[in-house]
Amino acid sequence: MKNVSTAAKFTFLIAGFGVLAACAGSGSGGGLYSLPGPRAVELPLDSGLIVFASEQVGKTPVKRIQYTDNEQRIDYALFKCNGAQGEFIFMDTPYTLNVSFNSPFNIRDKVEAWNFSKGQAAEWETAVQIHTKLGFIFYRPYRLTGLIRACFGISGEWDIAPGDPKLHYTRIMFGYYYQPPGIALEDEKMRALIDNIGLKGVTQRDVRFSDNVLNFHRDVAENFSGPQAGSRAMSMAQGGGLGASAGIGEFPFNYAEYYNLGDSEDKLD
């Protein structure tokens, strides 16, 4: 069962915003409880989940966006400096829900969806799986021939949803990194860079990110300033389409699906 589209979610959010505010302030004595719903925010650069470091871009991203709804959290980070650039997405689901990600895409599919790579001629090498601080990750070297860029794309999937008959995962990361024009990227260097990709609370000690239930929506809740700001944050993560230097138009992807044992295509009649 597919989730509703992001556009539909934001339409509902904006339409109901005033009603929710009115109910919350109606003085009925019990207040109003509701699930967070779809929200996107531009985060302070020291917030968010994704961490990365390279001698070219340093350790601090130039942009962080996070989107959450009732079923998923999508973290976006852009690292850019000295002619190098990396963009990464991490998505996860709350432990308390029967939700997993249906993402039947490979590294090349996602690399070609990023605005920077879209429409660019590329020479691809073979994908390789390695074990990193995050777990097993596939990486695939490629070269953007017209831009003279040495690059790699990455993809990692972890934690199969308990009870999901389709064996989908609940944590996914993908992204890419490219060197400054004309600078080679040897395999040993590539592997070191990939091992520098991490997550707060996983590869970097941070008690604020150790809980996936109570704090799942915290970053967005603490920084959300209304539907209009949310729409701006969404646009920043999506970039400007063809010719844009960063972003991915598919954000926030909506790969999350509810599952139950009756969803199995192999169930007995």
Does the pTM exceed 0.75?
yes
Give residue 34's pLDDT.
Answer: 58
DSSP classification of residue 198 = E
Q: Say if 239 falls within a structural domain.
A: yes
Give residue 8's pLDDT.
Answer: 45
Q: How far apart are CA 99 and CA 153, in angstroms?
A: 26
Q: Say if 267 falls within a structural domain.
A: no
Q: Say if 269 falls within a structural domain.
A: no
Phi, psi of 24 (to 5 degrees): -65, -30
Q: Say if 122 falls within a structural domain.
A: yes
Give residue 231's pLDDT.
Answer: 95
Give residue 216's pLDDT.
Answer: 87
DSSP run (H or E) holding 240: none
Give residue 265's pLDDT.
Answer: 56
Buried b (16+ CB within 10 A) or exposed e, 113-141: bbbbbbebebeeeebeeeebebeebbbbb
Q: Say if 194 falls within a structural domain.
A: yes
Local structure of 5: helix, strand or coil: coil
Q: Say if 41 falls within a structural domain.
A: yes
Name the residue among 186, 164, 156, 174 with its Cα closest to residue 250. 174
Domain count, the chain: 1
Give residue 76's pLDDT.
Answer: 98
Give residue 4's pLDDT.
Answer: 44
Q: What is the mean pLDDT of each run of 10 residues along the chain (269 residues)?
A: 46 39 35 70 94 88 95 96 95 94 95 94 98 96 96 97 94 97 95 95 70 79 94 93 81 96 52
Q: Say if 151 falls within a structural domain.
A: yes
What the block records as the tokens of 218 is 């915290």
Structural domain of 254: 6-260
Give residue 207's pLDDT.
Answer: 58
Q: Say if 268 falls within a structural domain.
A: no
Please check whether residue 29 is in contact with residue 168, taking contact to mean a CB–CB distance below 8 angstroms.
no
Q: How far apart are CA 176 and CA 155, in angstroms?
A: 9
